Amino acid sequence: MNGILISRVTFHAVERYCSRILGVKCYPPKGSRPYERAEIFCEAAGLTIDQIRAIIMTPNVERACRLGFKRMVSEGFTAIIYDGVVVTVVERRKPAACRKQRWEMELDQ
């Protein structure tokens, strides 16, 4: 993976990927810098920051960054993008739940 591409994933996104997607539980010291927090979470996950960045920066996410998308659903997570940079990661929503809500709304009308 190109170093320029993986540098387009913030330390905050790395931290959130570790905590929200990998389920890593750790508590960095208050007042620690984003780089230090990301490093602590990655160490707890057994990976490096660059490895996590490469996992986040899938070809689809990279394409979304280039094309100016605001978010991209990828392999098990949603990347939130601002100005071509992945700023955070959230859990992927389950589409079945969304369909069920729409279906229930149609029944109520």
Segment 7-44, tens digit of pLDDT: 899 999 999 999 999 999 999 999 999 999 999 999 99
Q: For residues 52 and 42, give the distance between their C-alpha atoms in angstroms, rounded to a whole number.
A: 8
Asked if residues 62 and 48 have their Cβ atoms less than 8 Å apart, the reply is no
Q: For residues 85 and 29, give the distance between their C-alpha atoms in angstroms, rounded to a whole number.
A: 26
* Model pTM score: 0.80
Residue 16, number of CB atoms within 10 A of its CB? 23
Dump pLDDT digits (tens) for 54-72: 999 999 999 999 999 999 9
Q: For residues 93 and 83, give the distance between their C-alpha atoms in angstroms, rounded to a whole number.
A: 23
Confidence band for 92, pLDDT divided at 50, 70 and 90: confident
